[in-house]
Amino acid sequence: MTPDLNISLKPFHFFASEEKSNFFTRIQNENQVEEAVHWCHENNYPFLIIGSGSNILFTKNFTGLIAKMEMMGIKKTNETPSDVTLQVAAGENWHHFVSYCVQKGWGGLENLSLIPGTVGASPIQNIGAYGAQIQECIEHVKAYDTLTQQWINLSNKECGFGYRTSVFKILPNRYIITHVQYILQKQPILKTDYGAIREVLHDKGIKNPSLANVAAAVTQIRTHKLPDPKILGNTGSFFKNPILPKEKYTELEKSFPNIIAHPISDKEYKVAADWLIASCGWKGIRKGNVGCYEKQALVIVSYGIKSGKEVYDFSEEIIHAVQTKFGITLDREINVY
Ligand SMILES: Cc1cc2nc3c(=O)[nH]c(=O)nc-3n(C[C@H](O)[C@H](O)[C@H](O)COP(=O)(O)OP(=O)(O)OC[C@H]3O[C@@H](n4cnc5c(N)ncnc54)[C@H](O)[C@@H]3O)c2cc1C
């Protein structure tokens, strides 16, 4: 393997800051995965696999090898009267894959339309939106274990999925995902309970929505609500919605009766992080080349940053403000390097 040297990372991530990597390569087949990992072991360099860079923040130059996942292919591996199973290579564009399934009439992914990124990254933080999470459709994940240097298949259970997390997020860089096997429904039960989806369908006079109607509604909502990363660099939600024990939430509600949250079990509440941030006065605030998006306080946007450190420092200020006012420590959803 002969990696490229001293490469600017600017084109490879959505914040488009100007950090560099001293080695860079592209992965188009499984042999190249093994070669890249062995090369790093031999040369004692750290390794980082990236997809489209829509959930990454570089705060300094990367000393090691960055490999961009570009393996392609969608293969049907099983079909029954009720479902289809598809093995999809990690470099496939997520939204293209969702659109392909919607066109075929295979349901399960439609609420996750228009999420940027690659198929290989979909299990990492168990991507979720509008009442759906990808864990509901994943059968297993094929990956190269960089520790044991063996190929493995992780079952859905072994992936350890949770809210915006998985074993891949907890053990960063241990597994290089090359394929994800999804199981999709031929007679899907559509998820249209989410308020915004219901409103769009109602406004369009759609009473019995199809898969395509739901995908179009989600696309419309997202286009309206989120900044276009090509115009304003961003990575979607920068923070996770904090999950609080019921007792702590009940105490907080006494002091802040307008707080936005919902129960996720008998014992826990998920609190809207955008409400916490907006309540601290950060929505729409800009400092230098970084800002908190005016329509959605969870999104941090770049107005032309040079270094990801600018975004990181801005996010530290938000964390501090929320901690001071509510006693809650926000957790970053984004992967910081
Ligand atoms: C406008 C916008 C809206 C968004 N909305 C949502 C949303 O609604 N819900 C949601 O969950 N996310 C959302 N995101 C976040 C992001 O789109 C997802 O996390 C996406 O899955 C990241 O894909 P990627 O290919 O860009 O991954 P990258 O950003 O390249 O990588 C993310 C992490 O995954 C790791 N990784 C990537 N590929 C592999 C692989 N093949 N094997 C092992 N590790 C890998 C990387 O090392 C890194 O740690 C949004 C982002 C943007 C910019």
User: Domain containing 289 — which CATH number?
Assistant: 3.90.78.10
Does the pLDDT at position 11 exceed 90? yes
Does the pLDDT at position 166 exceed 90? yes
In a domain, 290, yes or no: yes
* Residue among 141, 143, 125 nearest 133 (CA): 125
**Are residues 305 and 281 both part of a single domain?**
yes
Does the pLDDT at position 195 exceed 90? no
Does the pLDDT at position 320 exceed 90? yes
In a domain, 294, yes or no: yes
pLDDT of residue 16: 96
Q: Residue 316 burial by CB count (10 A; 0-12/13-18/19+): exposed, middle or buried? A: exposed
pLDDT of residue 137: 98
- Residue with the smallest CA separation from ligand 1 atom 15 is 55
- Residues 192 and 75: beta-carbon distance below 8 Å: no
Q: Is the CB of 124 under 6 A from ligand 1?
A: yes
pLDDT of residue 39: 96
In a domain, 27, yes or no: yes
Could you tell me whether strands 62-69 and 20-27 are parallel, antiparallel, or unpaired per DSSP bridges? parallel
In a domain, 123, yes or no: yes
In a domain, 95, yes or no: yes
Measured CA to CA, the distance from residue 140 to residue 158 in angstroms comes to 9
Q: How far is CA 54 from the centre of its chain?
A: 7
pLDDT of residue 268: 96
In a domain, 232, yes or no: no
Is 333 one of the catalytic residues?
A: yes
Does the pLDDT at position 282 exceed 90? yes
**Are residues 264 and 320 both part of a single domain?**
yes
Does the pLDDT at position 257 exceed 90? yes
Of the three residues 69, 96, 116, the one that is the final residue of a domain is: 69
Does the pLDDT at position 1 exceed 90? no
Does the pLDDT at position 324 exceed 90? yes
Q: How confident is the model over 37-52, as a mean pLDDT?
A: 96
Q: Is the CB of 166 under 6 A from ligand 1?
A: no
Q: How many other CB atoms are there within 10 angstroms of residue 266's CB atom?
A: 6
**Are residues 305 and 330 both part of a single domain?**
yes
SS3 127: coil
Q: How confident is the model over 60-76, as a mean pLDDT?
A: 97
**Are residues 146 and 99 both part of a single domain?**
yes
In a domain, 231, yes or no: no
pLDDT band at 123 (very low <50, low <70, confident <90, very high): very high
Show the domain range for 48: 4-69
**Are residues 91 and 157 both part of a single domain?**
yes
Does the pLDDT at position 322 exceed 90? yes
CB-based contacts of 304, cutoff 8 Å, min separation 6: 289
**Are residues 80 and 47 both part of a single domain?**
no
Of the three residues 168, 185, 202, the one that is the final residue of a domain is: 185
Q: How confident is the model over 298-325, as a mean pLDDT?
A: 97
Question: What's the predicted TM-score (pTM) here?
Answer: 0.95
- Residue with the smallest CA separation from ligand 1 atom 2 is 236
Q: How confident is the model over 330-337, as a mean pLDDT?
A: 97
pLDDT of residue 291: 97
Of the three residues 185, 217, 235, the one that is the final residue of a domain is: 185
- Which domain CATH number covers 164? 3.30.465.10
pLDDT in tens, 284-293: 999 999 999 9
- Ligand 1 center to residue 245 CA distance, Å? 28
**Are residues 79 and 177 both part of a single domain?**
yes
- Ligand 1 center to residue 335 CA distance, Å? 9
- Ligand 1 center to residue 325 CA distance, Å? 30
Does the pLDDT at position 274 exceed 90? yes
Q: Is the CB of 51 under 6 A from ligand 1?
A: yes
Q: How confident is the model over 169-174, as a mean pLDDT?
A: 94
pLDDT band at 238 (very low <50, low <70, confident <90, very high): very high
Q: Is the CB of 116 under 6 A from ligand 1?
A: yes
As for how many domains the chain has, the answer is: 3
In a domain, 21, yes or no: yes
Q: Which of these is catalytic: 17, 237, 279, 302? A: 237
Does the pLDDT at position 299 exceed 90? yes
Mean per-residue pLDDT over the chain, rounded: 96
Q: Is the CB of 91 under 6 A from ligand 1?
A: no
pLDDT over 70 for what percent of the chain? 100
- Residues 153 and 273: beta-carbon distance below 8 Å: no
**Are residues 329 and 253 both part of a single domain?**
yes
